[in-house]
C-alpha cells in the first residue's frame, strides 16, 4: 500500500504545483510560461504579474503561436472551486506541452500576497493570514 500511495503523490507533484512554488520558480529564473486560462473580463480585473493570457477555448488554435512547444507551461484559473485550469492543462497536454496545474489558482496567488496586476496597474492586496504567514510568504512546508 505504501508504494501505491507514494506513486499517487509523486504523480500529483509531477502535474501540480502551487502559488508558492510558482513564485519561487519565477524568482529563480526557471524556464516556463505561466498561463492564465480565464476569460477576458477576469484577465482585465486582475492577473498574475507576468502571466500570458490564453483562454482554454483558444489553446488548441493559438498555443503554438504564443508559446514554443518545447517550453514547460503552468496553467491557472480562478481557484480551487473551479476546474478551468484542469481543462486548460488537458488542452495543453493534448498539444504535446509539458504542463502543470497551479492548484489554488488566481485566488490563492492573490491571497498569499504575490504580485497582481489589472488593466489599471498593480492591484495591492493584503496577505490573508489563513493562506500564508503574515511576516513573509514562505510557509516552510
Pull the grid cell for residue 64: 503554438
Report pLDDT for 109: 96
Which stretches in the chain have pLDDT values below 50? none
Mean of all residue pLDDT scores within the chain? 92
Phi, psi of 90 (to 5 degrees): -60, -45
* Residues whose CB falls within 8 Å of the CB of residue 80, separated by 6 or more in sequence, listed in order: 103, 104, 105, 107, 108
Over residues 61-90, the pLDDT tens digits come to 999 999 999 999 999 999 999 999 999 999
Amino acid at each position: 500500500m505504501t508504494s501505491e500511495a507514494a506513486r499517487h503523490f509523486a504523480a500529483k507533484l509531477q502535474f501540480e504545483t502551487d502559488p508558492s512554488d510558482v513564485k519561487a520558480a519565477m524568482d529563480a529564473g526557471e524556464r516556463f510560461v505561466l498561463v492564465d486560462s480565464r476569460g477576458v473580463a477576469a484577465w482585465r480585473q486582475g492577473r498574475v504579474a507576468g502571466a500570458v493570457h490564453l483562454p482554454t477555448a483558444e489553446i488548441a488554435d493559438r498555443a503554438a503561436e504564443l508559446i514554443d512547444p518545447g517550453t514547460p507551461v503552468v496553467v491557472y484559473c480562478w481557484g480551487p472551486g473551479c476546474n478551468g485550469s484542469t481543462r486548460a492543462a488537458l488542452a495543453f497536454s493534448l498539444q504535446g506541452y509539458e504542463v502543470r496545474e497551479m492548484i489554488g489558482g488566481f485566488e490563492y496567488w492573490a491571497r498569499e500576497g504575490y504580485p497582481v496586476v489589472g488593466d489599471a496597474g498593480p492591484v495591492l492586496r493584503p496577505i490573508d493570514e489563513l493562506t500564508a504567514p503574515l511576516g513573509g510568504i514562505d510557509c516552510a512546508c
